[in-house]
Structure 1
Amino acid sequence: MKKALLVVSFGTSVSRARREIEAVEQALAAQAPDRAFFRAYTSPTIRRLLAQRGEQIFDLNSALENLAVQGYEDVAVAVTHLLYGIEYDKIKEQTAAFSKRFSCLRLGPPLLADSGSLCALARCLLQEPLAPGEGLVWMGHGTEHFANMVYPALQTALRLAGGRHAYVGTVEGWPSLEDVLTKLQSDGCSRVLLAPLMLVAGDHAQNDMAGSDPESWKSRLEEAGISVRCRMEGLGALVSVQDLYAAHLQKLLQPEEDNGV
């Protein structure tokens, strides 16, 4: 039986950030050495930008169709997305539409799939080295989907894991930068390391987080009198996070009887 591993990411058009996706892809491929590796990006904009540079990357539907045509029968779909949000809902729907095209088609969870993975990520994030008296601010994307509740839950997990001066905010959800700033000021935190709570340090990290624009997080924190240094690597660069993705895939690939099915 021909077996495949399809790794699905949102994607990035930032060349340097691409290696953070590839690091996770490599960790996942190493977890499934008996499967042929394939990738797909869900962002139409990123696929279009890459196509303009001469690189063609499948969307999910095209990738699954390609695997079916090539005669793959057992396909494991692993996602690098963080949440059970809008993007994951689309992936789930598209994958389900191909269920009759394969003998076995399995879809894995996002990184933050349950309380265990949430607490595990919190421990990973707290490994970031800090200067004495420095706070740690993680900037997430945020979503209007109910899955946005993962961000305040992660904030709680960081506190319970000992991150007294670790903070989580989002660009498009809650908590916001204003919420984080209020807490920084009440805690008397005047120096922070600002890092992207995203798979890659792509456009959001370069512009919304660390950009020179007055509305960037770095600029607004500095305007409030807080000294800022930026970590310009996404979560995909952390070996401990790569291990979390690999653990999800390992569980997905267990025989059905081992999963209680």
Structure 2
Amino acid sequence: MPASPPVPPIPDTGIILAAHGSRLPEAVAALEAFARRVAEAHPDCAVRLARTMGEMHRGRHLRPLFAARSLDAAFLEMARLGVTRVAVQSLHVVAGGEFAQVLDVAGRARRGGAFAAVPVGGPLLRDAGDAPAVADMLLASLPGDRAPGEAVAVMGHGARGPAREIYAALAGELSRRDRLVFFSTLDRTREDAARPDSNIGRLRRAILETGAKRAWLVPFFSVAGAHARRDLAGAGEHSWRGILAQAGIECLPALAGLVEIEHFSRAFLARLDAALAGLARPGEAGSGGTTFFP
């Protein structure tokens, strides 16, 4: 009787990559590719993706998502695997509501007693102090085909509370570096977008005032999901593309999520490295934008 193949050792450290989630195959593929990159860099760790969409959206639209695994479910799976320490890396853009949810779930998981420590690496924009570096990354990753005099319209998701000021800081940094790069966020509804003082209305006027006839459409999301493909670059008259085209501005979509762009993927990996370093050196926990639940 042939011998059974050896059972690989169960790692005692796990990594959870917490992202908003998406139903689009292209966005799912981008997240899975980033997870494979993390797994290759940390072969001794169990690596899992988890979505944070459900709680913020009251459970709507959860299928199909990548594995449809909630953050709570990811922690339960880690416990079943025998993992005793879990580093959570946020793949969110800004420290808004969903990142607050990540911190809440991580804190509960640690207090439950199954894990010795749960550090959480912060999102791309942890506070306004990150805006200059992120602005540099964004400008360095703009399409190489952009010609002089062409505008760039960057779409963020939007947020409530202090996160709005973080977005405003980024918009200011971009404007100071390049007067033709405009950052704005989604209007909440079509009715809001139709108002004279809407986000897209102000952005349209700002581009027209420069005299630019072409604008690159750039999503500022972890993945180029439904907002990027429908609300930013969609063919409908209510998308940014449709509204700008009606004003005589030719639009050129550049649809790539941040985890697909090397400047930004490195930033997320650096956040994760800081969280993992906190596991190795608990006395240094809390540095580098990491929240530590010891």
1:8 to 10, 15, 18: 18
The answer on 1:49 being equivalent to 2:94 is no
Q: RMSD between aligned alpha carbons?
A: 2.2
Equivalent position of 2:118 in the other structure = 105
Q: Which residue of 2 aligns with 1:17?
A: 27
Task: Kindly state the Cα deviation for residue 88 of structure 1 after the two structures are TM-superposed.
Answer: 1.2
Match of 1:137 among 124, 140, 153: 153
The corresponding residue for 2:45 is: 35
Matching residue's letter, 1:167:
F
Q: Tell me the CA shift for residue 10 of structure 1.
A: 1.0
Kindly provide the CA deviation profile for residues 25-81 of structure 1, in whole angstroms up to 9, marking residues without a partner as x: 24433453431111111223453224xxxx743211111112123221111011101
| Matched residue type, 2:185 | T
Distance, in Å, in 2 between the alignment partners of 1:131 and 1:183 is 18
Structure 1 residues 155 and 56 mapped into 2: Cα distance closer, same or farther (>3 Å)?
Answer: closer
- How far the C-alpha of 1:15 sits from its partner, in A, is 0.3
The correspondence of residues 83-94 of structure 1 with structure 2, limited to 5 A, is 83-94=94-105
Q: Which amino acid aligns with 1:144?
A: R
Distance 1:111 1:135, change over 3 A: same
Identity %: 28
- Structure-1 separation of matches of 2:268 and 2:198: 25
1:250 to 244, 266, 273: 273
1:70 & 1:25 partners in 2: Cα distance? 18
Query: Judging changes above 3 Å, is the alpha-carbon distance between structure 1 residues 111 and 7 closer, same or farther for their aligned structure 2 residues?
Result: same
For residues 225-240 of structure 1, what are the structure 2 equivalents within 5 Å?
225-240=248-263
Tell whether 2:94 aligns with 1:80: no
- C-alpha distance in 2 between matches for 1:158 and 1:71: 46
Q: Which one-letter code corresponds to 2:77 in the other structure?
A: N
Query: Quick one: distance in 1 between partners of 2:139 and 2:24?
Result: 26
Distance 2:39 2:173 in 1: 29
Tell me the residue number matched to 1:155: 171
The CA distance in 1 between the partners of 2:50 and 2:238, in whole Å, is 33
State TM-score, norm by structure 1: 0.89
Which range moves more in the overlay, 171-180 or 76-85? Answer: 171-180
Given residue 220 of structure 2, which amino acid in structure 1 is its aligned partner? L
Q: Secondary structure at the match of 1:184?
A: helix
Which is greater in Rg? Answer: 2
Q: Secondary structure at the match of 2:231?
A: helix
1:62 corresponds to: 73
Q: Hey, what's the Cα distance between the residues in 1 that align with 2:212 and 2:166? A: 24
Q: Using the alignment, how far apart are the partners of 2:128 and 2:274 within structure 1?
A: 16
Q: Residues of 1 paired with 2:198 and 2:133: CA distance?
A: 21
Give the whole-Å Cα distance in 2 for the aligned partners of 1:143 and 1:175. 15
Question: Any conservation in 2 of the 1:31–1:250 contact (CA below 8 Å)?
Answer: no
Kept in 1, the 8 Å contact 2:127–2:166? The answer is no
1:118 aligns with one of 131, 140, 160: 131
Name structure 1 gaps, 5 residues minimum: none
- Write the distance in 2 (CA, Å) between the matches of 1:204 and 1:2: 37
**Match for residue 7 of structure 2?**
none
Contact 1:23 1:242 in 2 (8 A): no
Counterpart of 1:212 in structure 2 is 235
Q: Is the 8 A contact 1:137 1:168 kept in 2?
A: yes
Amino acid in the other structure paired with 1:133: G
Deviation at residue 116 of structure 1 after TM alignment: 5.0
